[in-house]
Amino acid sequence: MAQGFTKIPLVGASCELGQHILHHLQECTTSKFEVVVLRRLHATGRGRESQPGNVDVIVKQVDYTDHNMLVNALRIIEVIVSALSAVAAIQIDPLLLDAGREASVRRIFPSEYTLDILHKSAMTTMGKSNPRVKNAMLFASLAGADSISSTTILSGMFVHFALRGHHDNY
């Protein structure tokens, strides 16, 4: 049986979805994870991901545009989980992919937690030149890749609404 991923950097841990992912990784009783929260180099103040009680979480500040710094932050990492907002993900997810390849990361979960961007109707509406479509095509092209693979989670457009517990208020 293949061993599961246990060394995970979480990008976007201070965002709403990232907080939920971090919480569940910390509360998991079936596996022990080594979570490294990657945070923007010049972020000010303490992020919500670094509050007391997160003793199993290491926070590393990185400049996402510094390829060598990002590669070094991803060394010995097995899988990247990106929970960035769509605007940040358009720029940062491809940088994570490039650095992850060089650092021998095995899998990446890019920040696409809405709808199937590559669905024919979505591509017709958005157009192939749309940055989100380009990113989705980039990650889809990894299927069968030898060095790194990706998994896209399509949770629906209103995942943030459900995470807030508003599902009973429709």
The CATH number given to whatever domain includes residue 46 is 3.40.50.720
Residue 14 resides in a domain: yes
Backbone dihedral angles phi then psi of residue 38, each to the nearest 5 degrees: -90, 130
Residue 79 resides in a domain: yes
What span, in angstroms and rounded, lies between the C-alpha atoms of 81 and 124? Answer: 28
94-146 pLDDT, tens per residue? 999 999 989 999 888 888 766 677 778 888 888 889 888 888 888 778 766 66
The C-alpha angle with vertex 155 and arms to 153 and 157, in degrees rounded to 5, equals 125
Residue 150 resides in a domain: yes
Tell me if 49 sits within 8 A of 79, measured CB to CB: no
Residue 170 resides in a domain: no
140-161 pLDDT, tens per residue? 787 666 678 777 766 555 555 5
Residue 2 resides in a domain: no
pLDDT band at 73 (very low <50, low <70, confident <90, very high): very high
Q: 94 is in which domain, residue-wise?
A: 7-165
Tally of domains within the chain: 1
Residue 19: how many other CB atoms lie within 10 Å: 18
| Predicted TM-score of the model (pTM) | 0.75
Residue 73 resides in a domain: yes
Residue 66 resides in a domain: yes
